[in-house]
Amino acid sequence: MNRSLRKALEDYLAMPEAEKVTLGFRAACSEDYRIWKDKYGKNCPARHHAYNYLLFRLRLSMECRTINGKRKVGVRLNDLPTGRETVFVPTGAFALAESGCYQPLGVRKEMKSSYKKHVLKKARKEMDSSWKQIYPHLLVESVKGGTSFSDAMIVDLKLNVSEQHVYFLYDSSVNAIKIGISSDVQRRRIQIENQLGIENMKVVGWVPYAGQKLEARLHKLFNHLRTCPERGKEWFRATGELKGFVEGLNQTAMKAEFIEEAESKASRCGGPVVEAA
């Protein structure tokens, strides 16, 4: 007797007698019971039909956890929908594109739709681990001492929704970071320097092709750090919290998950999204 059948039997034996009689009566009068009896009844004595049918029904009501999520115990994996699709699976390698961003390399695999979530979760974790090992070697000497930032940034396919990049621009004169969007980040930096009459601003991070939606999410996330109202609504105090967030964002390949985790932490406890170093 397997575990699910044993659990069904335990549930049945724990029922009051009156409930057993009621269930047995309903079973004997149901169309499902007649169908079951025609299909499986010949495998057991007639006096045990109602009893075995009740165990069968109790078993079907149970659920078990699998890598593909919850499913009914009485439903075999092969009986589930067998839709297949072709999925891009990252390999953990990267290539430098013409845009100056690193693109994750991968292979297209055909698989059951039910396997997709599990396979991608594992592959993206391996890609993130690989990026964390590669990133320190991409740092440019001119910015190593100040910002620990590399212009060569990875594209997160989950955030690849726009032609514009989200950037973090640091102004040491007011110790503030501007969170904005532009299709050409370095040209935008020069424009802002000219507008404000300030030199040596630094782009300390950017998220390729993430667009206005992510910009709005980040503005909301760091709303409590807004500063320099005379410059507009896109400047935020460069606290340890914000600097730690930008540094962590630069070093992860799974930027969408990193941002979602920060948002979840902020809404859950109202504390800083990243602890200051």
- Do residues 99 and 51 share a domain? no
- Do residues 64 and 98 share a domain? no
Per-position DSSP letters for 53-117, written without gaps between them? HHHHHHHHT-EEEETTEEEETTS-GGGS---EEEEEEEEEEEEE-TTSPEEEEEEEEEEEHHHHH
pLDDT at 161 over 70: yes
pLDDT at site 188: 92
pLDDT at site 49: 63
Compute the distance between CA of residue 177 and CA of residue 188 in angstroms, rounded to an integer: 14
For the chain, percent of residues with pLDDT exceeding 70: 63
Domain membership flag for residue 165: yes
pLDDT at site 266: 87
What is the count of structural domains for the chain? 3
Look over the chain and give the mean of its residue pLDDT values, rounded to a whole number. Answer: 78
Alpha helices in 95-239 (DSSP H): 113-134, 141-144, 185-196, 211-221
pLDDT at site 144: 36
- Do residues 67 and 88 share a domain? no
pLDDT at site 162: 82
pLDDT at site 238: 94
The mean per-residue pLDDT over the stretch 179-195 comes to: 92
Domain membership flag for residue 276: no
Compute the distance between CA of residue 141 and CA of residue 138 in angstroms, rounded to an integer: 9
Position 94 confidence tier, pLDDT thresholds 50, 70, 90 = confident
Instruction: Give the domain extent around 43.
Output: 3-76
pLDDT at 42 over 80: no
> Which has the higher per-residue pLDDT, 31 or 277?
31
Compute the distance between CA of residue 204 and CA of residue 150 in angstroms, rounded to an integer: 8
Asked if residues 177 and 125 have their Cβ atoms less than 8 Å apart, the reply is no
Position 227 confidence tier, pLDDT thresholds 50, 70, 90 = very high
pLDDT at 68 over 90: no
pLDDT at site 157: 76
The mean per-residue pLDDT over the stretch 150-160 comes to: 75
Position 166 confidence tier, pLDDT thresholds 50, 70, 90 = very high
The DSSP 8-state label assigned to residue 167 in this structure reads E
Residues whose CB is less than 8 angstroms from the CB of residue 268 and which lie 6 or more positions away in sequence, other chains included: none
The mean per-residue pLDDT over the stretch 196-206 comes to: 89
- Do residues 246 and 180 share a domain? yes
Compute the distance between CA of residue 164 and CA of residue 168 in angstroms, rounded to an integer: 13
pLDDT at site 13: 67
CB atoms within 10 A of CB 236: 23
- Do residues 161 and 199 share a domain? yes
Structure tokens at 219: 């503005």
pLDDT at site 101: 81
Domain membership flag for residue 275: no
The mean per-residue pLDDT over the stretch 66-90 comes to: 63
- Do residues 232 and 174 share a domain? yes
- Do residues 122 and 190 share a domain? no
The mean per-residue pLDDT over the stretch 145-168 comes to: 73
- Do residues 66 and 104 share a domain? no
Position 189 confidence tier, pLDDT thresholds 50, 70, 90 = very high
* Torsion angle (degrees, nearest 10) of CA 35, 38, 43, 45: 90
- Do residues 103 and 53 share a domain? no
pLDDT at site 80: 45
